[in-house]
Chain A
């Protein structure tokens, strides 16, 4: 056999390994991804009987005066700005507490992590009942403490976003706690010994050793959290249905509405591209940051 033939056979064997996954991946992921960019420049109601029209940047221009989009964009940012720091701080506190040698550590870790894997529909159902403005136990307790008018939670436009943020923090902090625990275990114990020799107390050790040593983890957690918040949908759907009014309308919710309620596939895709741009910016920042930490 010639060298060329062996080479050809080698390639063929390799492709046969990749093919089962790649064919499915190319058709059902890559093609729709490309299609997403094309659809954003078309005017189409999704019906096979109505032709698609190329409209250039009109879909994007229309977004600028679209109240739904503007509300969704604003709310997505507000949700992200509120959820990210809260989740990050809670995850860090939990990780630091659970990184010590204490009894029942594994139990506490499991408990903190379980909401993350628990079905969203089920936990959102119980959350809605607990925070029921009229008869839920949370407001009963608040009344017991003498609060005259406890919040209307998901039914009140001023509290709806808070309700969603609280729920998200509760559900997701266990996941990021695991990332922080991994980061904490990577810290060289000699650094703490050195800090002890220098006479640092626990608080000083935390600020001068733990926090700086965790900066790479924190950066990664931050990026993951921001991207996750941009994509929020389930929580909103199950707790407030974007309401009251548009108080908790977020981008993915609006994309869903535009496409599947109003059959406006062009503007739905244009908004999806805006969402992608947001995620891309965060990802690029992560790439640059990673290179900096590796260098």
Chain B
């Protein structure tokens, strides 16, 4: 047994105190949000803060669905998020397979094209992109957001990194057995790439769910708005309804919280290995 000295005990104490302080700074805004979401507007700012409201106003969580078309916003966001994530997963893993495991003309040039664009922030070309989409009649359509988000270079890059790590002998053996490239992709590569697909899923989900500037530029009609720009519109219009704003904010956080807590390991691994995103 190792003898723990007093000095080490003190250090350990300091570490804990620092961590608890950090955790408090990170968490308190969320707890305050939750507490305010159950209060009347006039009670939100009473000081000292009443963390657990004496008379929790659950009606706030009822009213947000009638005061603003929150349900429409949620539906729009779910629709966009699901379509973008599926398209992203399918098209980028499909393309990544070719880049990682097939020999063909122009492979390096094409891949370089993808890589080069990662360095160019979307904000640089968002204006010409908007001009182009408008010309195509896609302004104020969900299709614009889907087309904008679904074909990212990041997805191809990430999946290619993963496929490269799978031994090529596996594909060659299957080829000898007479399997087509499509068969190899669907029956061998896809089942093997669950961890990478999970990482890409959570990245794309969180990105699409939380995206603000894209929908803000393209979707100006209320019935098309996503939850982020819808919530923002509500905050601007009813800036004094603190309780309701906080209740709506809690609602927008819940899906991300669920996905995050259940797939957290993939998220953390994804950042640690690729370091990319955003």
Contact = CB atoms under 8 A, between A and B. Distances in A.
Contacts of A129: 32, 36, 44-45, 242, 246
Contacts of B110: 18, 22
Contacts of B98: 14-15, 17-18
Contact of A110 (B49, B151, B261): B261
Nearest to A106: B264
Interface residues of A, number: 90
Contact of B113 (A30, A136, A178, A227): A30
A39 interface: yes
Interface of B: 11-12, 15-16, 18-19, 22-23, 25-27, 29-30, 32-33, 36, 44-45, 47-49, 90-92, 94-95, 97-99, 102-105, 107, 110, 113-114, 117, 119-121, 123-133, 147-148, 150-153, 155-156, 180-181, 185, 206, 209-210, 212-213, 217, 227-229, 231-232, 235, 242, 245-246, 249-250, 252-253, 256-257, 260-261, 264, 267-268, 271-273, 275, 278
B95 A252 contact: no
A114 B121 contact: no
B111 to A, nearest CB: 9
A43 B127 CA distance: 14
Contact of A228 (B33, B113, B156, B278): B278
Contacts of B99: 18
A11 B129 contact: no
Counting chain A CB atoms within 10 Å of each CB, which of B114, B249, B256 scores highest? Answer: B249
Interface stretch (A65-73, A81-89, A116-124, A192-200): A116-124
Given A20-B90, A102-B12, A279-B119, A119 B253 contact: yes
A21 B200 CA distance: 15
A231 B121 contact: yes
B33 A122 contact: yes
Contacts of A273: 124
A98 interface: yes
A187 interface: no
Interface string A123-152: 101110110100111001000000000000
B123 A269 contact: no
A268 B127 contact: yes
Which 9 A-B pairs rank lowest in CB-CB distance, beginning with the nearest?
A24-B151, A182-B272, A122-B249, A14-B104, A17-B98, A35-B128, A32-B129, A21-B91, A21-B95
Contacts of B104: 10-11, 14-15
Given A32-B132, A126-B32, A181 B119 contact: no
B124 A276 contact: yes
B246 A39 contact: no
Contacts of A100: 15
A137 B49 CA distance: 7
A238 interface: yes
B22 to A, nearest CB: 6
Counting chain A CB atoms within 10 Å of each CB, which of B99, B260, B261 scores highest? Answer: B260
A88 to B, nearest CB: 14
A119 B47 contact: no
A102 B268 contact: no
A175 interface: yes
The interface residues of chain A, by DSSP majority, are classed as: helix
B181 to A, nearest CB: 5
Contact of B95 (A18, A136, A280): A18
Nearest to A233: B213
A174 B127 CA distance: 31
Contacts of B131: 35, 39, 46, 265
A231 B268 CA distance: 23
A126 B132 CA distance: 36
A257 B132 CA distance: 18
A208 B243 CA distance: 51
Interface in A50-82: none
A50 B12 CA distance: 70
Nearest to B97: A17
29 contacts: A14-B104, A14-B107, A17-B95, A17-B98, A17-B185, A21-B94, A21-B95, A24-B150, A29-B117, A32-B125, A32-B129, A35-B129, A97-B19, A98-B19, A113-B268, A115-B29, A117-B267, A119-B209, A119-B252, A119-B253, A122-B33, A126-B29, A175-B278, A178-B268, A234-B212, A237-B212, A256-B217, A272-B126, A275-B124
